[in-house]
Amino acid sequence: MATAVVSLLLSLLTTAAVDLESSFLQNRPDLLLKHLSSRSRLSLTLPEPVGFSDQLSAEQAYFLFQDILGRFLTQEFFPESGLPRELQGDIMILKARWAFRDRRTNNQHAFRLFFFFRLEKPPPRTGRALPWKIVEIKAERI
């Protein structure tokens, strides 16, 4: 039973990793949006040249990433580790590398992104599986 639960949870995170990769490579913030919680705010910290640090609703994050992905052309995006790393019982971290070019200045940059996923309980009286939702995104320059 425990093996099946772990397998299910890892498959949900693998789906999230594929969606994140597609979101950045295809300039599709809608793929990111479906992995954000509608019940809690996203903590987002991105260094320069993006230069943003705040807490946002899922909808605000969608519009911010629409702007970011429009300004910066993704050259590569890939998870750095095969499986997410468990931080605590209900939090997992997925690390990814994002290389991009500023469309205005033509300067190239690279970030290591940390996506913090939290296991979110379903609303009462629903039969859906417990989804992993992104609750925090941090970045460091490489």
Tokens of 6: 């772990």
- Domain 2-141 sits in CATH at 3.10.450.50
Question: The tokens 């909808």 sit on which residue?
Answer: 59
Q: Where are the domains of the chain?
A: 2-141
Chain segment 73-128, per-residue pLDDT in tens: 999 999 986 555 656 678 889 999 999 999 999 999 999 999 999 988 766 666 55
User: Using N-to-C axis directions, what is the helix angle for 58-71 and 2-25, rounded to 10°?
Assistant: 50
Q: What is the share, in percent, of the chain residues with pLDDT greater than 90?
A: 68
Q: What whole-number distance in Å separates Cα of residue 72 and Cα of residue 42?
A: 21
pLDDT tens column, 3-24: 544 454 555 567 888 999 999 9
Radius of gyration of the chain from its Cα atoms, rounded to whole angstroms: 15
Give the whole-angstrom CA distance, residue 132 versus residue 119: 5
Q: Is the overall model pTM greater than 0.75, yes or no?
A: yes
* Rounded Cα distance, 113 and 111, in Å: 6
**3-state SS class at 45:** strand
